[in-house]
Amino acid sequence: MPHNRLNLKRRYGYLIYILPFMLVYLVFTLWPILYGFYMSLHKWGITGPISFVGLHNYQYLLKDEMFWSSLGHSSLFVFISTPLMVVLALGTALLCNLGTRWKTFFRTGFFLPTVLSVTVVSYLGTYIFNPSIGLVNTLLRYVHVLPQGSNIDWLGNTPTAWLAITLVTLWWTVGTNMLLFLAALQDIPDSLYEAAALDGATPLQRFIYVTLPQLRSIMGVIIMLQIIASYKIFPQIYYMTKGGPNNTTKPIIQYIYEQGFMNDRLGYSVSMSVPLFIILLALALIQLRLRGRSEGGIQ
Amino acid sequence: MDRYTGDTGYTSVSAANCLDVHYRPQTGRQPNPFLQRLVCAPYSLDTLSGILSDTLLLRWLGNSLIVASLHTLLVLTLCSLTAYALSKLNVPGGKWIYLLILAGLLIPLEVIAVSQFQVAKNLHLLNTLTVLIVPGAAAPFTVIVLKTFMDAIPDELIESAEIEGAGKFLIFRKLILPISASSMFALGILAFLQSWNSFLWPFLVITDMNKFTLPVGIPTLLSSFTVDYVTPMAVSMLSSLPAMLLFLIFQKKIVKGVAFTGIKG
């Protein structure tokens, strides 16, 4: 008997290590994915009867203008924020990599906002862009760009609201990308710069011919991560503009939330996550492909 | 909230306030009004103590701390055990399990939040702290980074420990864990910050004010339309302080950790 138990332990002992993780993973990640597809085929409220409706939710989706416009808004945000985010992250990373004694100060300053809660960040955003008492308008009046007594309603107009949302998000999250760039910058061997210096390359030439090519693979990763992160935007907008004016800043996640939990249409809201899921999965796969290729290139 | 305004209005040393109220054309040399106000302002802690006694902020702070700490502990426990098994124990079908976990990395949780909500509801977990701690604990990212790290630990080291008679778990505890400590630490900090700042999930599954975490609770105290700027500022400051302190204390390790995980993951 003891021999058998030992055998059992040897054969299935690994299960103790894997089961707890797999249990949580199955119940809260893999199962909800399948369950979501199942839910999307039903008329499904938070309370009340559930009935099978087949593909009706998806048919409705195709004709739902609000779905398309909110998906468009999220895509618009991706389109504006990604280039800014990447360029600014690279710039700040270069600044931190200069080797001056301000390095720690810069690094802390640029990264610290990322530990703030999104609700605090959004509140500061509404406060800074407030038309009458906000910092931005006050400063503009102070330097006489804006006449005394007049206001710009930053969050009340569509283009400026997008500008404000983008700036706040940029300030809040640029630190993470900066750290990724910084790590890559520090991995570039000094010998490359020394060789370039011997050949008489100016600092600008060194940046273009040494730094940029070395950063190519991490740049690809950051762009993809940023696109995916930007598609998930929701709380900043929810608290800064509530999706207004006139729903022109409403992102897709907010619309999913509203349909599911405020209009009690969980089935329909889940069906909206399917196209979003496909977009994000496609982007993630492209990222994996690109990364695979760049890593293959190094080896 | 009006009771916090009045004399204590100057406790918020915001540039906007000071410029707006105190900028006047100056003739001759006079003390800088901004600095003067900064130094002589009637500072008081009334607002802070008022917030602490009249709101649930401390309770939310406690919830956030409990949730983020337990979540971090659970993430590290589950993920390090799994990473160890996948890396060093010959798990049958281990490659498939690894692929399944890798697939999870590609799925943004925001997209499946609604069906996750329904699952949590079916399990009667809504409005519990458990639902904030457990679901994200199976973190594919953490497993993958840890497995990559453990793969680099030479097998000879483990074999020699086995010859000395150490069991699998003893090897994990006395050998693997100490070696992986630095990456575990970095991943732990990231897990803590992620849980601390998590918004959408607690927003969906918690409706009981006593169970709120800070990101969900704060907006109920903030309003951009009142004339009172002190309360929101104090709330923001109080709620940001723990995470900021955490960051400042562990700054170097976090930077290293993000850099490390960023390249591998």
| Boundaries of every domain in chain A | 60-294
B138 and A184 within 8 Å at the Cβ level: the answer is: no
Task: Answer whether the bond into residue B92 is a cis peptide, omega within 30°.
Answer: no
Give the count of Cβ contacts less than 8 A between chain A and B: 217
Sign of CA pseudo-dihedral B66, A121, A238, A63:
negative
Nearest to A21 among B79, B172, B259 (CB): B79
Q: Which CB contacts under 8 angstroms, 24+ apart, belong to B44-49?
A: B44/B7, B44/B8, B44/B11, B46/B4, B46/B8, B47/B4, B47/B8, B47/B11, B47/B230, B47/B231, B47/B234, B48/B234, B48/B238
Phi then psi dihedrals of residue A62, to 5 deg: -60, -30
Element (H, E) at A166: helix A158-187
pLDDT level of residue B263 (50, 70, 90 thresholds) = very low
Region class of A95: left (phi > 0), else alpha (psi between -120 and 50), else beta:
alpha
pLDDT score for A296: 42
B16 and A128 within 8 Å at the Cβ level: the answer is: yes
The helix/strand/coil state of B5 is coil
Q: For the residues B27-56, what does the mean pLDDT come to? A: 69
Kindly tell me the number of DSSP H helices and DSSP E strands found in chain A. Answer: 16, 2
pLDDT tens per residue across span B137-161: 998 888 988 898 888 888 888 888 8
A118 and B197 within 8 Å at the Cβ level: the answer is: yes
Nearest to A17 among B82, B116, B135 (CB): B82
Nearest to B244 among A24, A112, A257 (CB): A112
pLDDT score for A21: 95
Q: Which residue has the higher pLDDT, A189 or B37?
A: A189
pLDDT level of residue B79 (50, 70, 90 thresholds) = very high
List all residues 6 or more positions away from A290 whose beta carbon is below 8 Å from its beta carbon.
Answer: A220, A221, A224
* Separation of alpha carbons A95 and A175, rounded Å: 13
Q: Which residues of A touch B14 (CB under 8 A)?
A: 135
* Separation of alpha carbons B252 and B265, rounded Å: 20
pLDDT score for A171: 94
pLDDT tens per residue across span B150-208: 888 888 888 888 888 888 889 999 889 888 887 888 788 878 878 888 889 999 999 99
B199 and A118 within 8 Å at the Cβ level: the answer is: yes
> Can you give the three-state secondary structure of B122-169, one letter per residue?
HCCCCCCCHHHHCHHHCCHHHHHHHHHHHHCCCHHHHHHHHHCCCCHH
B40 CA to chain A: closest CA distance, Å? 22
* Separation of alpha carbons B222 and A259, rounded Å: 25
pLDDT score for B4: 36
* Mutant choice from B105, B112, B245 vs A, greatest count of A C-beta within 10 A: B112
A180 and B219 within 8 Å at the Cβ level: the answer is: no
The A residues from 51 to 80 touching B (CB cutoff 8 Å) are: none
pLDDT score for B27: 47
Compute the residue count for chain B: 265
List all residues 6 or more positions away from B132 whose beta carbon is below 8 Å from its beta carbon.
Answer: B67, B71, B195, B198, B201, B202, B205, B206, B213
Supply the DSSP string of A99-155, one letter for each residue.
--TTHHHHHHHHHGGGGS-HHHHHHHHHHHT-TTT-HHHHHHHHTTSS-TT----GG
pLDDT at B68 over 90: yes
ipTM above threshold 0.90? no
pLDDT level of residue B24 (50, 70, 90 thresholds) = very low
The A residues from 145 to 184 touching B (CB cutoff 8 Å) are: 176, 179-180, 182-184
pLDDT score for B10: 37
pLDDT score for B16: 41
Query: Among residues A224, A223, A238, A222, which one has the least CA distance to residue A73?
Result: A238
Q: Which residues of A touch B257 (CB under 8 A)?
A: none
Phi then psi dihedrals of residue A42, to 5 deg: -130, 155
Region class of B166: left (phi > 0), else alpha (psi between -120 and 50), else beta:
beta
Cα distances (Å, whole numbers) of residue A191 to A17, A187, A241, B133, B249:
45, 11, 51, 47, 34
Structure tokens at B225: 């339309």
Give the range with max mean pLDDT: B45-49, B72-76, B170-174, B236-240: B72-76
Nearest to A130 among B115, B224, B259 (CB): B224
B263 and A184 within 8 Å at the Cβ level: the answer is: yes
A115 and B197 within 8 Å at the Cβ level: the answer is: yes
Q: Which residue has the higher pLDDT, B251 or B61?
A: B61
* Separation of alpha carbons A263 and B183, rounded Å: 44
Task: Enter the pTM of the model.
Answer: 0.81
Task: Show the low-confidence residues of chain A (pLDDT under 70).
Answer: 1-6, 8, 10, 291-299
pLDDT at B220 over 60: yes
CB of A282 within 8 Å of any CB in chain B? no
Nearest to A134 among B16, B143, B239 (CB): B16
Q: Which residues of A touch B247 (CB under 8 A)?
A: 111-112, 115
Structure tokens at B68: 């983020």
Nearest to B84 among A17, A123, A130 (CB): A17
pLDDT score for B66: 94
Sign of CA pseudo-dihedral B232, B132, A272, A270:
negative
Q: Which residues of B touch A12 (CB under 8 A)?
A: none
Q: For the residues B57-69, what does the mean pLDDT come to? A: 91
A180 and B258 within 8 Å at the Cβ level: the answer is: yes
pLDDT level of residue B25 (50, 70, 90 thresholds) = very low
Nearest CA in chain A to B117: A32
pLDDT level of residue B81 (50, 70, 90 thresholds) = very high
CATH architecture of the domain with range A60-294: Orthogonal Bundle (1.10)
pLDDT score for B1: 37
